[in-house]
Structure 1
Amino acid sequence: MFRIRKSEVDKVNQDQILEILKETNVLQTGHFSLTSGKHSAEYMQCAQVLQYPDQASKLCNEFAEFIKENNISVDLVVGPATGGIILAFETARLLGTKTMFAERENGKMVFRRGFFVEPGQKVFIVEDVITTGGSVKEVIEIVQEQGGIVVGVGVLVNRSPEPVDYGVPLKSLLKIQIETYNPETCPLCAKGVEMKKPGSRGLKK
């Protein structure tokens, strides 16, 4: 059962969350070539905020407060690798629960390193960003396969163009839609704006 620690940080509103993401270079602007092949003027690199423990803690506190306000009992916080690992760890620290992470093995999300969910454990899942929600759905499946009970999901950034239904309460700290363009009709290409690829040396770290 969860044990909410005395709040170490104040609650933050949507504007403050957006400001944190801008200040820590999560929300980046420019001309980006995405893995889908499309282009965009914006890119979300959620790992950037994890460089700043104080800011990351403020965000994870929102998950903890959501759990408290909705009277959700939590025994374990799980995050998919790699984006959800630190967020799940900090959320669990604030709740006073255990934490672990799932990772891909041969393309499938699994628990390794001796991690397992005990039957009946109540599990809250935390992820950094969702677009289709597929990774979280995979984690839900392996938790349930081991007899765990998924009681909620928390995501830092919800980029899904359509509502995502996990069958449990979902807390999205920020909902945002980023416009993308086909290369042949990209207005940024037409203006000659320098192209950057996320993760490349040309992208500000």
Structure 2
Amino acid sequence: MKDIFEILESVGGYIKNSHIVGTSGKHLSEYLNKDALYPHTGMSSEVGKMIAGVVRDLEIDVVASPALGGIVLSQWTANHLSKMKGREVFGVYTEKNAEGDQELKRGYNKLIKGKKVLVVEDIINTGGSCKKAVESVRKEGAEVVGVAVMVNRNPDVVNEAYFGAPFFALASRKFPAYEEEDCPMCKAGVPINITVGHGKKYLAGKK
């Protein structure tokens, strides 16, 4: 089985030895750009198959994910689980509401009621949106039988206890993150990468 970082690197989704500003404002030398994976349907399918293989022994009726990031993976995971189990496994997603929580719309709430649900996410940073998706699934009367992610970047916090359900990750890795004043890339004069992350916004704020 391929390593998930090899797959991401092959499509330009794993960036190393760079200088990137993350969502939190911290500076990183490594970055995962999951959006680089999704145009490649074959690779996306392969990752979905990898996740399905990890959870195939669980009883799963539905795969759910928080929009937008996890939608592609949840569909491929559900597709491969359907083939493995010889029956249809549905794929749905939750959406952010005005309060910032995740909820099931479009009739998906009725579809999952009483069902056994696997929640899938691509990259876990804080784990917040994924946890809200788990809560929304439970709120609709479904059982969360597991949470599966492509990469867990916050393994010290995000785990089985965090979700209250079995937790699976294709890979877990902490990326060093620095405050601007402590950033070794800043001190070395490495230019900010403006193609990914929030580098462009960061530089605009410096003007």
Alignment TM-score, normalising by the size of structure 2: 0.84
The alignment status of 1:37 with 2:37, answered yes or no, reads no
The alignment status of 1:109 with 2:70, answered yes or no, reads no
**Does structure 1 retain, via aligned residues, the 8 Å contact 2:64–2:118?**
yes
Question: Residue 8 of structure 1 corresponds to which residue in structure 2?
Answer: none
Question: Residue 37 of structure 2 corresponds to which residue in structure 1?
Answer: 49
Between the aligned partners of 2:23 and 2:126, the Cα distance in structure 1 is: 15
Between the aligned partners of 1:21 and 1:64, the Cα distance in structure 2 is: 18
Question: Residue 24 of structure 1 corresponds to which residue in structure 2?
Answer: 11
Deviation at 1:31, TM superposition (A): 0.4
| Aligned-pair Cα RMSD in Å | 1.8
Alignment of 1:58-137 (within 5 A): 58-68=46-56, 71-96=57-82, 97-106=89-98, 107-116=100-109, 117-137=111-131
Q: Secondary structure at the match of 1:51?
A: coil
Deviation at 1:199, TM superposition (A): 4.8
Question: Residue 143 of structure 2 corresponds to which residue in structure 1?
Answer: 149
Question: Residue 9 of structure 1 corresponds to which residue in structure 2?
Answer: none
Between the aligned partners of 1:119 and 1:111, the Cα distance in structure 2 is: 11
Question: Residue 6 of structure 1 corresponds to which residue in structure 2?
Answer: none
Between the aligned partners of 2:144 and 2:94, the Cα distance in structure 1 is: 14
Deviation at 1:170, TM superposition (A): 1.4
**Does structure 2 retain, via aligned residues, the 8 Å contact 1:131–1:161?**
no
Between the aligned partners of 2:108 and 2:172, the Cα distance in structure 1 is: 31
Bigger mean CA offset, 23-32 vs 192-201: 192-201
Residue by residue over 1:68-117, the C-alpha shift from the partner in whole angstroms, topping out at 9 and shown as x without a partner, is 2xx21111000100111000011111122111100101112111222214
Bigger mean CA offset, 122-131 vs 59-68: 59-68
The alignment status of 1:173 with 2:170, answered yes or no, reads yes
Alignment of 1:6-17 (within 5 A): 12-13=1-2, 16-17=3-4
Bigger mean CA offset, 22-31 vs 110-119: 110-119
Residue by residue over 1:8-49, the C-alpha shift from the partner in whole angstroms, topping out at 9 and shown as x without a partner, is xxxx15xx3221111111211210112212111111111211
**Does structure 1 retain, via aligned residues, the 8 Å contact 2:22–2:198?**
no
- Counting matched residue pairs gives 187
Between the aligned partners of 1:159 and 1:186, the Cα distance in structure 2 is: 19
Q: Secondary structure at the match of 2:19?
A: strand
Between the aligned partners of 1:146 and 1:55, the Cα distance in structure 2 is: 32
Q: Which has the higher helix share?
A: 2
**Does structure 1 retain, via aligned residues, the 8 Å contact 2:145–2:166?**
yes
Q: Secondary structure at the match of 1:50?
A: coil
Between the aligned partners of 1:114 and 1:87, the Cα distance in structure 2 is: 20
Deviation at 1:161, TM superposition (A): 4.2
Alignment TM-score, normalising by the size of structure 1: 0.85
The alignment status of 1:189 with 2:198, answered yes or no, reads no
Q: Any gaps of 5 or more consecutive residues in structure 1?
A: 1-11
Q: Secondary structure at the match of 2:141?
A: coil
**Does structure 1 retain, via aligned residues, the 8 Å contact 2:20–2:198?**
no
